[in-house]
Structure 1
Amino acid sequence: MVIKRVMAAALVALAMGAGACTAEVEEKGEAPSVDVDGGKMPQVDVDPAKVEISTDTQQVVTPEVNVTPTEGDDK
């Protein structure tokens, strides 16, 4: 239990210290030049999923709705 409290206190102190720092760039950086040689992709045997697609027509019974607006209701 004591170790957890000490670790928590150390992390809080580290976070506060890191937040109190300011950094300014004095010189522009440059990415290193890298030579890349082509390679070979591995050969892969893929079995795709089998998907069957079909259509079907069905009738759906919908209820008839009668709406009577109330007087003065413009919406």
Structure 2
Amino acid sequence: MKRGVLAALLVAVIVALLAFYFIDVDVTDEGALPDVDVDVSAEPGEMPDVDVQTGSVDVGTETETVEVPDVDVEVDTEETEVTVPSVDVEPAPE
């Protein structure tokens, strides 16, 4: 697995864990659905007649020859120390 994908997955897991432990929600009153009476005594509706004209789309493939430059890349690397952010999380009090 590439490092970028692994890093993104790790960040997503950390955010999900923060979302579960950072907020504490207590339900103090249960909700209820409203009481609704429905009386249907109307004439039935009618859909309009519609005539639709559409254009056409042709999807396919073609083979083309293109000129691609030949590029040689040399990369020199070295290790260095960098400052990265840190996260300190405390769960909400219960």
TM-score normalized by structure 1? 0.31
Greater relative contact order (Cα 8 A, min sep 6): structure 1 or 2?
Answer: 2
TM-score normalized by structure 2? 0.27
In our comparison, the structure showing a higher alpha carbon Rg is 1
